[in-house]
Amino acid sequence: MGKAKRQEHTFGRRSAASVLYQSEIIGKPVDRILEEGDIPEEAGLNEYGRLLLLGFSAHRAEIDRIISERSANWAVNRMPMVDRELLRITVYEMKYVDAVPIPVSINEAVEIAKEFGGDDSYRFINGLLGRVARDLDEQASGSGSDSDAASAPDDAASAEPAESPAADGSEDAVESEPIETVEGTAATAEPEVSAAFAADGAAPAAPEVAAVALSVED
């Protein structure tokens, strides 16, 4: 996959998390936001971001259950808002978007958390997603022999970052070393969000705040 496609996916993840953040701030379900087109222009939601949002909306209960089970007794609704929305988007991508290797999803989430989350967010997110990845790998190993292969081998959830790219249309595995899973505890921030998905990192001052696009460097 070329650089442009990778950037499209990176921006899609960030914009999807931004719209989810806005959804909670204004108290409107994400599917209604998409249906009504109530997305600020500056949010910059692209096609991949829309795919992630629609997918999460359809599987919300399942995704939240997975996060809750792997969060070491840290309730989903008590997590810092930035962490929560980023986890939701990433767990959906890990479970349902076969074209993107799981290590890529985790690495992207960790980098976004470093930029927009609290001081401990990236450790918490990395550890939780690492546990989810092991669960998905075990599930795939247990059912692989009994089901027809619907996707190419490179699309498997167990893909390593250093492997060759997945099947056509998939995302290249990252070239950097995989991030070591951290079994740390949840971020210590208060339930209220500690940092907004905004370019300046400032939390919105009122429910009417519009989501701000998360830019991707060329």
- What residue spans define the domains of the chain? 1-141
CB–CB of 4/171 below 8 Å?
A: no
Mean pLDDT of 13-22: 92
Cα(23)–Cα(39) distance, rounded to whole angstroms?
A: 10
Upper half-sphere CA count for residue 149 (Cβ side, 13 Å): 9
Q: Where are the alpha helices (DSSP H) in the chain?
A: 3-26, 30-36, 47-58, 60-69, 81-96, 102-116, 121-143
Q: Are 168 and 113 in contact (CB under 8 A)?
A: no
Under the banding of pLDDT at 50, 70 and 90, the label for residue 47 is very high
pLDDT tens digit sequence for 147-205: 444 443 343 333 333 333 333 344 544 433 334 444 443 443 333 333 345 433 333 33
pLDDT at 203: 35
pLDDT at 218 over 90: no
Q: Please give the structure tokens belonging to residue 197.
A: 């998905």
pLDDT band at residue 44 using 50, 70 and 90 as cut-offs: confident
Residue 20 pLDDT more than 80? yes
Which tens digits make up the pLDDT trace of 66-99? 999 999 778 899 999 999 999 999 999 999 999 9
- Distances in Å between the Cα of 51 and the Cα atoms of 16, 101, 130, 189 are 9, 17, 23, 30
DSSP string, 155-192: GSTT--TTSPP-STTPPPPPSSPPPPP---------SS
b/e code 158-190 from CB counts within 10 Å (16+ = b): bbebeeeebeeebbbbbeeeebeebeeebbebe
Domain 1-141 annotated CATH 1.10.940.10: yes
Q: Tell me the mean pLDDT in the region 35-44.
A: 73
Is pTM beyond 0.75? Reply is: no
Confidence of residue 42 (pLDDT cuts 50, 70, 90): low
Rounded to an integer, the average pLDDT of 28-44 is 79
199 is written with which tokens?
Answer: 């370019």
pLDDT at 141 over 80: yes
Asked if 122 and 182 touch (Cβ cutoff 8 Å), the reply is no
Q: Are 116 and 193 in contact (CB under 8 A)?
A: no
CA terminus-to-terminus distance, the chain: 15
* pLDDT tens digit sequence for 195-205: 345 433 333 33
- Closest to 215 measured CA to CA, from 11, 34, 76, 64: 11
